[in-house]
């Protein structure tokens, strides 16, 4: 079951206080460790947690934690222990038949205990660490790297003490008081506070995940809205071509369509560009696209007026829109290139101030004025 689908926190129990083992760093105050584990187990049950354990051997802390956990269980407040032993192994915590705590063995398909062990850790809501060696230290580091709440009891040394040192740097959202409590000498009355700090980390993690999910949802909604708006801009730009007035002297309607249609297309291009960018504001993208489109279209229109000064006397808006609408879209989609060219002092791509690409005035039997070519010639 995934962490999000569980109603009760699943806490993994990891560590060892076996004084026969030569641990590095060594254990400290190992005689008090079993009693501390039983107290922590009892507090985990009272907090409504389930346990994830990996062995019932007395050399590991699971046996003491489960014992304290089971002693605190009642019919009104039962508990569950999920055992993840290596394949073909079994666990036996010798709980009485009338115990309010149930032990459920979960088999893993992997033949390597490390795979099952670390995979289980990543699926837990928290990790309790006491003593232990290199494996305990690695378990704590992996948990912290995945923002999984950890409770290293540094009072007994071992790998858990090293994890506490690293937790002091990462924090997991905890304050100085909680960090100091985990590193302090063991006192029986600190067990409830330690478990509370573990569950506090869980709540902070869940709040962060909920906030990230909400942010992703808003981002997806904004991206969808941007795409819908870009389609609307494209439709309006094409509609301007269809509704353009016939050729004739320039008026308010014809000039408005000539300038506004490519600007609308530039906004649509910028919004489509925005949909490919992970970190961008649709409003900012639209404004940048509008600026790039405005500069490109005005420069194009200025170049045509330089080439054909009488262009406005017989303006064929529909013919011009077939070029200016794609020009506006391209400028909006590649606004960064447009601004780069402007900063370098060049005209936007495709816009030559002295080009003669404009359609000739649509007056039957009349071409460009006699002096038009001479006026448009570049100085020498």
Residue 342 confidence (pLDDT): 67
Structure tokens at 307: 């080439």
pLDDT classification of 351: cutoffs 50, 70, 90: low
Q: How far apart are CA 289 and CA 338, in angstroms?
A: 10
Q: Are 181 and 194 in contact (CB under 8 A)?
A: yes
Residue 191 confidence (pLDDT): 95
Average pLDDT, the chain: 86
Segment (H or E) for 282: helix 282-307
Residue 322 confidence (pLDDT): 93
Total Cβ atoms within 10 A of residue 102: 14
Residue 264 confidence (pLDDT): 93
Span 114-127, average pLDDT: 92
Say what percent of the chain tops pLDDT 70. 88
pLDDT classification of 359: cutoffs 50, 70, 90: very low
Residue from 322, 328, 332 nearest 357 by CA: 322
Say what percent of the chain tops pLDDT 90. 54
* Burial class, 11, CB count within 10 angstroms (exposed 0-12 / middle 13-18 / buried 19+): buried
Most confident of 28-37, 211-220, 311-320, 351-360: 28-37
Residue 1 confidence (pLDDT): 56
CA 88 vs CA 30, 135, 164, 316: distances in Å = 31, 21, 34, 85
pLDDT classification of 38: cutoffs 50, 70, 90: very high
Q: How far apart are CA 37 and CA 26, in angstroms?
A: 18
* Alpha-helical segments (H) within 243-281: 252-274
pLDDT classification of 378: cutoffs 50, 70, 90: very low
pLDDT classification of 361: cutoffs 50, 70, 90: very low
pLDDT digits (tens, 9 = 90+) for 53-97: 999 999 999 999 999 999 999 999 999 999 999 877 889 999 988
Q: Within the chain, which residue ranges are assigned CATH 3.40.50.450?
A: 6-186
Comparing 356 with 100, the larger pLDDT belongs to 100
Residue 337 confidence (pLDDT): 75
Structure tokens at 334: 């590649």
Structure tokens at 28: 């400290």
6-186 CATH fold: Rossmann fold (3.40.50)
Q: Where are the beta strands (DSSP E) in the chain?
A: 10-16, 50-53, 79-83, 101-105, 126-131, 150-153
pLDDT classification of 48: cutoffs 50, 70, 90: very high
Q: Using the 8-state DSSP alphabet, how is residue 244 labeled?
A: P
Residue 88 confidence (pLDDT): 77
pLDDT digits (tens, 9 = 90+) for 244-256: 999 889 889 999 9
Residue 358 confidence (pLDDT): 41
What residues pair up with 13 in beta bridges, in sequence order? 128
Q: Which strands sit side by side in the sheet containing 79-83, from one edge to the other?
A: 101-105, 79-83, 50-53, 10-16, 126-131, 150-153
Q: How far apart are CA 341 and CA 350, in angstroms?
A: 11
Residue 350 has pLDDT above 60, yes or no: no
Residue 5 confidence (pLDDT): 55
pLDDT classification of 284: cutoffs 50, 70, 90: confident
Span 113-141, average pLDDT: 93
Residue 3 confidence (pLDDT): 59
Residue 162 confidence (pLDDT): 94
Residue 345 has pLDDT above 70, yes or no: no
pLDDT digits (tens, 9 = 90+) for 155-190: 999 999 999 999 878 888 888 899 999 999 999 999
């Amino acid at each position: 079951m995934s962490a999000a689908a569980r109603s009760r926190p699943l806490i993994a129990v990891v560590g060892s206080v076996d004084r026969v083992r030569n641990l590095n760093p060594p254990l400290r105050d190992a005689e008090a460790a079993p009693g501390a584990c039983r107290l922590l187990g009892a507090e985990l049950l009272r907090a409504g947690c389930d346990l994830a354990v990996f062995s019932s051997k007395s050399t590991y802390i699971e046996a003491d934690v489960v014992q304290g956990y089971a002693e605190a269980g009642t019919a009104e407040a039962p508990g569950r222990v999920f055992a993840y032993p290596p394949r073909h192994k079994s666990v036996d915590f010798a709980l009485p038949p009338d115990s309010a705590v149930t032990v459920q063995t979960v088999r893993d398909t992997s033949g390597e205990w490390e795979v099952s062990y670390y995979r289980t850790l990543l699926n837990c809501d928290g990790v309790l660490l006491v003593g232990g060696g290199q494996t305990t230290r690695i378990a704590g580091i992996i948990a912290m790297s995945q923002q999984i709440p950890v409770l290293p009891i540094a009072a007994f040394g071992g790998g858990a003490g090293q994890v506490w040192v690293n937790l002091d740097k990462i924090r997991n959202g905890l304050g100085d008081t909680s960090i100091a409590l985990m590193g302090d000498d063991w006192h029986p009355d600190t067990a409830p506070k330690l478990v509370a700090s573990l569950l506090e980390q869980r709540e902070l993690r869940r709040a962060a995940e909920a906030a990230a999910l909400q942010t992703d949802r808003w981002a997806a909604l904004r991206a969808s809205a941007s795409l819908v708006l870009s389609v609307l801009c494209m439709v309006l730009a094409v509609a301007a071509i269809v509704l353009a007035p016939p050729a004739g002297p320039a008026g308010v309607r014809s000039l408005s369509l000539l300038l506004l249609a490519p600007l609308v297309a530039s906004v649509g291009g910028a919004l489509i560009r925005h949909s490919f960018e992970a970190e961008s504001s649709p409003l900012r993208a639209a404004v940048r696209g509008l600026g790039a489109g405005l500069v490109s279209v005005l420069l194009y229109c200025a170049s045509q007026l330089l080439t054909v000064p009488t262009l406005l006397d017989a303006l064929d808006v529909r013919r011009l829109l077939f070029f200016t609408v794609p020009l506006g879209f391209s400028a909006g989609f590649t606004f960064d290139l447009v601004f780069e060219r402007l900063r370098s002092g060049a005209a936007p791509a495709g816009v030559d101030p002295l080009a003669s690409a404009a359609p000739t005035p649509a007056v039957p039997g009349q071409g460009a004025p006699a002096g038009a070519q001479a006026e448009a010639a570049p100085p020498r």
